Every structure is written in structure tokens, then in C-alpha cells.
A and B are shown apart, each in its own frame.
Chain A
Amino acid sequence: MKKETIIAIILGITFGIIFSLIMVSRTKSQSASIGNKKNVNETSQIVTPIPQTGTNFTFDVTSPSNNIIVNKKSISITGKISSNALILIQSPIKDTILQSTKNTFSTEFPLALGENVIHIVVYPKDSQFKLQEKELRVYYIEE
């Protein structure tokens, strides 16, 4: 093999390695900057409070979601609600009655193995509002 050919090969390998190193370092710095931007987005998320005007009635179950599968014997039921409402939560193994004093409610609720049909009914204090109900199916499965 000629000297020139060997030199060309070696130079090619050298520049190739240098180029790849530059590319690796640039990719790393780019991913780091994206991560920082994401953090900024997460922290700058604005939480808008729900207005309580008195002209409408609020009821929403925020947790758990319907048809969720869990591997624990109880679950926390939480939600948003207008104050002074009567909440009745019923399943085949438990009945709970709550009176909302704040704009949220939360209770720890036991689960039976298998399917748990949880029926939540809310009776607003003001009779001009209709009762509201929600049915959740929560599956407690042992791992």
C-alpha cells in the first residue's frame, strides 16, 4: 500500500473521531437545555382557582378514576364540591356520609378483592339544585 493511501486513511479516521466527539458533546448540551426548559414549564404552570359564585353547584371526583386497577386494600376518594352538601358514598362493604365544609372532600375508603362498585351521591343544601351522582368501578387485584 502506498504511503499517501495510509496517510489518507489515518487522517480520515482522526477527523471522523473528532467530528463524532463534537457531535456527542453538542447533543448532550442540547438535551440539558431542553430539560431545563421543561422544568421551567412545569414550575410556571398556573393553577386557576374554581370560582364559587353561588349560582351553580360544583361536584367532581378527582380521584380515583373510573375502572382503575389497584393493589391495595383501600383508596382515597377526593373531589371538588360546593360547601354544605351531603355526600353519601356507598359500596358493598362500606357506607360513608360526609358533610362538605370546604370546597373539597376526601375520605379513605376500603376495597374488597375484585370489583368494587362505588356509588357517590351528593345532595346540595340548596333545594334548587338537583342531586348529583357518580358511579366508579375500582378493581382491587392482588399482585
Chain B
Amino acid sequence: MKKLILVIFCLSLALCSYFFNVKAQDVIPSSSESATPDDINSRKLIEKVANKVAEERKKDQKAVSGVIKSIKDNLITVSGYEGLESTTFQINVDTSFNQIFAVSTGEKKEIKMSDLKPNNYIIATGPLLDKAILANSVYVDDRFVVKSGTIIEINKTNYSVVVMTTDKSEYTIDIESTTKQYLMNIKTLEIEKTGFSKIKEGDTIHFVGVLSEGKKPTGKVNITGKKYVVIPQEYFIK
């Protein structure tokens, strides 16, 4: 009887040692040379899981942009858009972790939380939960409008053009000395420099402007022209 017990005990010990050896090999393969197909599969699985986790974290990152309505301590309330709908977002900025940058000049310049003012246009990224974002990064920028439409009026005395877009919004673009003006060559399709005198009513214009702070980007609005590209009407009737 004692012998039988001893045999069973030895057998169970052997099985236990085999089982744990197999598990240990799954977790830490000794070397790539001795790696079995099972080891390679497990490693691939671990990598896949790690990649998936990283992807999911990236998916959680959302970007929110809008005009600052109010600032209270570290909480900024902005009026932005979710699709086409106007929405209010809360941006939580942890000043001990987050840096705030102004990028409107084309260069990145660090600014302080106290430099932010209502009507500034800001962009924040981070995990978004129910219209509230815990900011990872905050940028202050110009509020660009990039649209196209037909020139319906040219005012040569105050250097402005009125454009009607396809959604029937009217934009008055102030042309300044710094506004870059281009015309598409209808033969070569190259973009060439042009002047205000060469554009005419009925031409198609693609423009980039900066919306004055606090104004809605719809309806009849004035913008400061940064640049425009005109497609002459002759292109469409040739």
C-alpha cells in the first residue's frame, strides 16, 4: 500500500513539474534560437495586445477647438462645433503638467494660462468624456476660415470682395497689403501671382481668412483675407 502511495505521489510531482515548466517557457523563452512555434505565437499575441492597447489609447484622444467663453481657475469653457452642431466644451488644464503654446505666428511660443483671454481660439487634445476634455496639449491659434464661392461684388475703393459660398453664406473679404493673391492659369493649371485689379465678378474664388474673434463663421461676415486663389470664369466656359 505504501508503495502505491509513493508511486502516485511521484507521478503527481512529475506532472506538476512538467506543467510549470511549460508555463514558464510560454512567458520567458530562453532564447530566440530555442523558441518553439508556440513561443513565437505567444510573443506575437503579446505584441498584438500591446499594440491594441496603444491604439485604444490613441482612439481616446480627441481634439476640441473653439472660442473661449470663460476661464475659471483651470477650467476653460469654449464654444465649438461637434459636426455641424454648436456645442459647449469644458477643457480642464493641469498647469503643472500642461504647457500652452501660441502657434498663430507660425512659430511655437509657450504662453501662460493667465495669457488666455475670452474670445481666443484654442485647440485642446486629450481624452474626451461627455463634452469635457482633460487636456494633454493646448494651442492658441487664429480662427481660420477656408472656403470657396463666387465673387458677387468687388469694392475697389476699400479693397474688399463679397463672396457667396455654395451654402449661400456671404463673406466680405478685406484684401490687405499682406494678402497673398493668386490666379489659376487656365491653360497650365499652375497657380500664379496676381493683383486685385485682375479679378472680376463671376470668378470662382478659394480663400483663407481669419475670422474676427467672437464672430460666428456663418451668415454675412467680415474676414481678413490671408490669401486667395481665383479660378477665372473662362475655365468653366472653354
Chain A residues close to B by CB (< 8 Å):
3, 6-7, 10-11, 13-14, 17-18, 20-21, 28, 32, 67, 69, 86, 88, 90-92, 95, 97, 99, 112-115, 117-119, 121, 123, 127, 131, 133, 135, 137, 139, 141-142
Of the candidates A32, A99, A115, A131, the one whose C-beta lies within 8 Å of that of B65 is A115
| Chain A: CB-nearest residue to B207 | A90
- The answer to whether A135 touches B146, judged by C-beta atoms less than 8 angstroms apart, is yes
Determine the distance from Cα of A75 to Cα of B2 in the docked complex, in whole angstroms: 77
Binary contact track B23-50/A, C-beta < 8 Å → 1, others 0: 0000000000000001001000000000
A5 to B210, CA, bound (A): 87
On whether the beta carbons of A10 and B12 are closer than 8 Å, the reply is: yes
Interface flags, B134-149, vs A, CB<8A=1, else 0: 0001010110111110
Q: Could you tell me if B1 and A17 are in contact, using CB atoms closer than 8 angstroms? A: no
Identify B12's interface contact among A13, A28, A119, A142, CB under 8 A: A13
Which residues of chain B are near A99, meaning CB under 8 Å?
189
Q: How far is the CB of B200 from chain A (nearest CB, A)?
A: 18
In the bound complex, CA of A114 to CA of B107 (Å)? 11
- Cross-chain contact A133 with B148 (CB below 8 angstroms): yes
Q: Is B154 an interface residue, CB under 8 A from the partner? A: no
Complex: chain B residue closest to A127, CB-CB: B236
Query: What per-residue 1/0 map shows which CB atoms of B87-121 lie under 8 Å from chain A?
Result: 00000000000000101001010000000000000
The interface residues of chain B lying within 8 Å CB-to-CB of A121 are 148, 206
Smallest beta-carbon distance A134→chain B, Å: 11
Contact B5 A6 (CB under 8 A): yes
Chain B contacts with A in 181-200, Cβ cutoff 8 A? 182, 184, 189-191
A sample of 11 inter-chain contacts (CB < 8 A) reads A10-B12, A21-B15, A88-B148, A92-B146, A95-B227, A112-B106, A115-B144, A117-B146, A119-B148, A121-B148, A137-B65
